[in-house]
Amino acid sequence: MNTTEEIKYIRAKEKVEAIKSFYSNLMAYCIVIPFLAWVNYNTTSFPWVVFPAVGWGIGLVGHWFQAYGYNPILGKGWEERKLREFMKEEEL
């Protein structure tokens, strides 16, 4: 393999790992939050389960953004454009 193919392989592997990590986090959320809701329902009338559900949900959305390379503030592909820009500066 030449270096460009190796770099592409490494980037693809990192992306797959990030997506796999996101789905693991999502699966844990789908298991833990209903369990906490059940505990909340059986112990008290105050709906405290909302706090971990919303907090973890916000983190989950952030994890999704990171895993799929979406940045709502800087736009899609911002990181790639910046990498290319810095690589061009290094060549000069």
pLDDT at 76: 67
Per-residue CA distances from 1 to 6, 8, 10, 39, 69 (Å): 6, 11, 12, 54, 26
pLDDT at 1: 57
pTM greater than 0.85 (yes/no): no
pLDDT digits (tens, 9 = 90+) for 6-61: 888 888 899 999 999 999 999 999 999 999 999 999 999 999 999 999 999 999 99
Residue with tokens 């910046």: 82
23, 68 in Cβ contact below 8 A? no
Domain parsing of the chain, residue ranges: 3-91
Q: In this structure, what token pair is assigned to residue 51?
A: 């706090």
Mean pLDDT, residues 76-83? 76
